[in-house]
A = this chain, B = another copy of it.
Amino acid sequence: MAKLQKSIDKRNALVKATIELVNNNGFHATPMSKIAKMANVSPATIYLYFENKQDLVNQTYIDVKAEYTKYAFANYDPTTPIEEGFKMIWKRIADFKLKESEHAMFLAQCDNTPMIDEESRQEGIKHLQPLLDLWERGKKEGIIKPISDYLLYAYAINPLSFLMMTQKRGAFTLDKTHLEEAYQSAWSSIKMCQ
């Protein structure tokens, strides 16, 4: 039991180090040896937990993506009214992207780069279902525009990634007011024009 616990700790340390180093240097500029050093293990130990470097980032991606969606829907109840439900989820996602910006940044890099296996990418998408369901419901009720989920995501959610990156680069800080404005823009872009 103690052994097993220790193992999970090491795996976590490796995942954490991977996120930080890949964020700063990119996948291929992050040597396994540095990951090992940052996680306080021997390079060889990585291979007890992951098949190879590709597997390490794939699993890290899936881990972070799962954490992201878990966070997004943590307090969401599928019976909530559309607008309120959307706002709730949107705020949680905004929260995640800005507070857990290291993790969000890692996802952004994975999503705009050929560094993740297609299979792992698919695996990561799965957990977004509650949002898609909400949109489905919203479309039926005539509250959400009857357009492709890809378009809805592009306008309602994805801009947060851009804002997070911008903030990360120090060009701009997203305060409460900005956040409210962003939400209004998001909602305006997907709600039915009355």
Contacts and interface: CB of A to CB of B under 8 A. Distances in A.
Contact of A185 (B27, B29, B190): B190
B113 A178 contact: no
Contact of A155 (B26, B165, B166, B186): B186
A86 interface: no
Q: What interface size band does chain A fall in?
A: 35 or more
A129 interface: no
Given A24-B114, A147-B178, A155 B189 contact: yes
So how many copies of this chain end up in the complex?
4
The interface centre, meaning the residue of A28, A121, A150, A184 with most chain B CB atoms within 10 A of its CB, is A150
Contacts of A166: 150, 154
The interface centre, meaning the residue of A24, A148, A151 with most chain B CB atoms within 10 A of its CB, is A151
Interface stretch (A68-76, A104-112, A134-142): A104-112
A154 B121 CA distance: 23
Interface stretch (A6-14, A38-46, A59-67, A156-164): A156-164
Given A24-B114, A112-B109, A182 B154 contact: yes
A109 B110 CA distance: 10
A153 interface: yes
Given A28-B27, A150-B166, A171-B150, A186 B188 contact: no
B109 A181 contact: no
